[in-house]
Structures are given as structure tokens and as C-alpha cells.
């Protein structure tokens, strides 16, 4: 069997995701495998629903198999987020296509990927960095100079380029599908398709009815019964870490560069996460980068946990009958260990990378449960099994 892959966060799954999923199936006539972020999102936020709920909802709405993108990759820059997901798909041995939602499908992402990985682009990038520009600003300026890609500044287009870069040495073919009606960061709901950002904002605000029309019924029911993130607790936990650690210790526990650890340390005196992010980002750094650093720090691991290069396993979260058949065949084609149920010592006999990645995932799940004010016990990830939708 062959399958088409989708990289997703489904935070939460909404009608735009449903459109992307159905369009992908109509175009390819293939089952869909989703590589989905677990407990923390790429933009530096705890998940709105836990990974087990989100995986179940995805399968109930048509995805055939959901596997987890380890936190070591989901809580990283777009480059490593994309690279980790693509490596998982390649390791499965059954994924022939990757379907990406984009804002500008007319962009030749494949050709652009060749340009930005070439020596001329890298030389130009380094010269702009030497002029004192941040990496993001230098990268954008190099794109403008060498690839005439001045408009490549929307999240999904940026990710599409990163996917295209990661796919260069694989046998997976990209498919680009235009996002409908709502962009990634749109904050308002104007129809039945809205961004996940707008849905979360509406649900938590005074207009939940608007969110209801933008998601499938089962997602709405899950949202209604969900315990939202306790933002006060989140900041208290994080500010405790900031006060406890020195600036140099902060640098040892998250991916700080350019002296950012000193800014993060100053944020200990802020009164909220939003205030801290604004203080540290200023005009120089993207707020999502600062949020990722704070979330990395919250998880309390060494910096090298967040500097993994290759995923060490494939963890199954949910599947249907078609996904079950894919899993059966993956036992012959997969080049990474497949985890369906955690044993008492899941890293026993495995590599250091495996041990660090699974430890980080387990910690992320525990922290998320704590933030959601749910009755939970440490190590609850051991008790969950993949959801199976049997027809």
C-alpha cells in the first residue's frame, strides 16, 4: 500500500483541515497518514486538546493513521519541524506523497528549495548575518535578492519551502493545495472555515457560537468538555524556572543564541507570559521563537534534547481499518521502531537519541495535563493506547 502524508497540529481540527484532507484524498485516491505534533505546538504553545483527543478526532474525520511528531521536533523552528516530519514519513516506507496547504500555490517551492540550499544563497545569507541581521531577516533578504520571493512570509508557505527542502533526498512527491477562506494567523471568524487561532480565541472569548460553525460536530463536543490551559499556572511555573536559574543555566536548557538568555532572565519579573514574550521579542525576534524558548525551558531538560537531528521512533496515536493495514505492512518497510504501547522501560536497549526523545514526550504530556487542570497522575502516557476506529 502507498499513502499520502500530511504534517499537522490539528489544534484543533477544523473545517479547513477537513477541506484539505478531503481534497488530498480526491486528488490522490490514497489513504492519509498524519504526522501530528504532540503536547506542544511549533509556535510555542501548549496544545488546546491533548494528543490522544486530537488524534481520535482526526481519524473520526477521515485521517487513516496518526503518528506523533516528537516534541524534540515539534517545539523547534520550521526547518527542524519539517525535517523531523519528513524523516518519519520516509522511514515508514509507504508514503509516496506529501500534501501541503499553502497560501500561494503558484510559487515553485521545489525550484526555490534548490536555490536556498545552493552555495550562492548560503554565501549571501552569511554576508547578511555578518551585517548584524537576525537569521530570519537575513534569510528573507537573501530570498528577495536571489529568488525574487519577497512575498514568502506566510506560515504555510514558509513550511512548504521547508518541506520541499527536506524532500529533496527522498522519494516522496509534494502536492500543494491552496488554503481556503482563512489564513493561518487570521484572528476573526467570518465563515465556516477559520484559522485554528481564531477558533481558539473565539472559544475562550465571549463568542463560542462562532467557533462552533468552524469545526466538525465531534470536535465541538470535545472542546465543550475540555479543560482549557490555566495561563496563570503556566506563567507561575515558568517564572519559577526563570528565577531559579542563572542566565548561563537558561542557555544550557533551551536554544538561546545571541545572548537571548539574558533577556529571558530579565523576564522573570514580568506578570504574564504575554508580557514576557513582548519584552524579549521587541523588534528583533519573532514572538513564536521566544515562546518556543520559554516552552523548552518549562520542560526542564538539557539543551541537547532540543537539538536532535533524526527521529528515533514512530509512535502511533490513532488509526482506522485502513491505517491498521498500513501498520501491518509497515512492519516490513519501516526503518524505525514502531511504538503502539509503552513498556515499563521504553528506552531500554535503545539509543541515547531514543531515550531523550521519549523522555521529552512523556514530560510534555505530564506538563500539559497539569496545565489543563485535569485529574491526572505522572506518567499517564503509559496508560493510553492508540485509538482504533473499527467499521
Distance CA 239, CA 260 (A): 16
pLDDT of residue 142: 87
What's this model's pTM, rounded to 2 decimal places? 0.94
List domains and CATH numbers for the chain: 3-107+152-224 (3.40.50.620), 231-305 (no CATH)
By C-alpha distance, which of 297, 303, 282 is closest to 134? 282
pLDDT of residue 105: 86
Question: What is the mean pLDDT for each group of 10 consecutive residues in the chain (391 residues)?
Answer: 97 95 97 98 95 97 98 96 98 97 89 91 91 82 75 82 95 93 61 87 82 93 87 96 97 93 95 96 88 98 97 98 97 96 92 97 94 76 94 82
SS3 318: strand
Q: Nearest 5 degrees, angle CA 246-CA 74-CA 94?
A: 150
Distance CA 77, CA 84 (A): 11
pLDDT of residue 250: 98
Q: Nearest 5 degrees, angle CA 128-CA 123-CA 310?
A: 100
pLDDT of residue 378: 76
pLDDT of residue 140: 82
DSSP for residue 16: H
- The 3-class secondary structure across 66-133, one letter per residue, is EEEECHHHHCCCHHHHHHHHHHHHHHHCCEEEEEEEECCCCCCHHHHHHHHCCHHHHHHHHHHHHCCC
Decide: 313 and 336 in contact? Cβ < 8 Å: yes
pLDDT of residue 90: 98
Distance CA 20, CA 11 (A): 15
Amino acid at each position: 500500500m502507498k499513502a499520502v502524508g500530511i504534517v499537522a497540529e490539528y489544534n484543533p481540527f477544523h473545517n479547513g483541515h477537513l477541506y484539505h484532507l478531503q481534497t488530498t484524498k480526491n486528488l490522490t485516491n490514497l489513504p492519509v497518514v498524519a504526522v501530528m505534533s504532540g503536547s506542544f505546538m511549533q509556535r510555542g504553545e501548549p496544545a488546546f486538546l491533548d494528543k490522544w483527543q486530537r488524534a481520535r478526532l482526526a481519524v473520526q474525520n477521515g485521517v487513516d493513521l496518526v503518528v506523533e511528531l516528537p516534541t524534540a521536533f515539534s517545539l523547534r523552528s520550521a526547518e527542524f519541524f519539517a525535517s523531523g516530519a519528513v524523516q518519519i514519513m520516509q522511514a515508514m516506507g509507504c508514503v509516496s506523497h506529501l500534501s501541503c496547504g499553502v497560501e500561494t500555490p503558484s510559487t515553485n517551492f521545489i525550484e526555490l528549495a534548490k536555490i536556498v540550499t545552493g552555495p550562492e544563497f548560503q554565501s549571501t545569507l552569511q554576508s547578511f548575518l555578518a551585517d548584524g541581521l537576525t537569521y530570519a531577516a537575513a534569510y528573507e533578504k537573501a530570498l528577495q535578492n536571489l529568488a525574487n520571493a519577497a512575498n514568502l512570509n506566510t506560515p504555510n508557505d514558509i513550511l512548504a519551502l521547508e518541506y520541499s527542502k527536506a524532500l529533496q533526498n527522498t522519494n516522496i512527491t509534494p502536492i500543494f493545495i491552496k488554503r481556503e477562506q482563512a489564513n493561518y494567523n487570521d484572528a476573526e471568524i467570518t465563515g465556516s472555515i477559520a484559522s485554528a487561532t481564531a477558533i481558539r480565541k473565539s472559544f475562550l472569548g465571549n463568542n463560542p457560537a462562532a467557533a462552533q460553525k468552524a469545526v466538525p460536530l465531534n470536535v465541538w463536543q470535545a472542546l465543550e468538555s475540555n479543560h482549557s490551559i490555566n495561563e496563570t499556572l503556566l506563567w507561575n511555573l515558568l517564572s519559577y524556572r526563570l528565577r531559579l536559574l542563572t542566565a548561563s543555566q537558561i542557555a544550557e536548557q533551551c536554544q538561546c543564541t545571541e545572548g537571548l538568555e539574558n533577556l529571558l532572565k530579565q523576564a522573570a519579573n514580568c506578570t504574564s507570559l504575554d508580557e514576557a514574550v513582548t519584552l524579549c521579542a521587541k523588534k528583533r525576534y519573532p514572538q513564536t521563537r521566544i515562546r518556543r524558548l520559554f516552552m523548552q525551558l518549562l520542560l526542564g531538560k538539557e539543551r541537547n534534547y532540543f537539538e536532535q537531528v533524526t527521529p528515533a521512533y514512530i509512535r502511533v496515536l490513532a488509526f482506522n481499518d485502513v491505517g491498521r493495514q498500513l501498520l501491518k505492512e509497515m512492519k516490513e518497510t519501516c526503518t524505525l521502531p514502531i511504538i503502539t504501547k509503552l513498556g515499563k522501560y521504553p528506552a531500554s536497549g535503545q539509543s541515547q537519541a531514543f531515550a531523550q526523545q521519549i523522555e521529552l514526550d512523556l514530560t510534555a504530556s505530564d506538563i500539559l495535563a497539569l496545565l489543563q487542570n485535569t485529574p491526572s497522575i505522572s506518567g499517564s502516557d503509559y496508560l493510553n493506547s492508540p485509538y482504533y476506529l473499527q467499521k
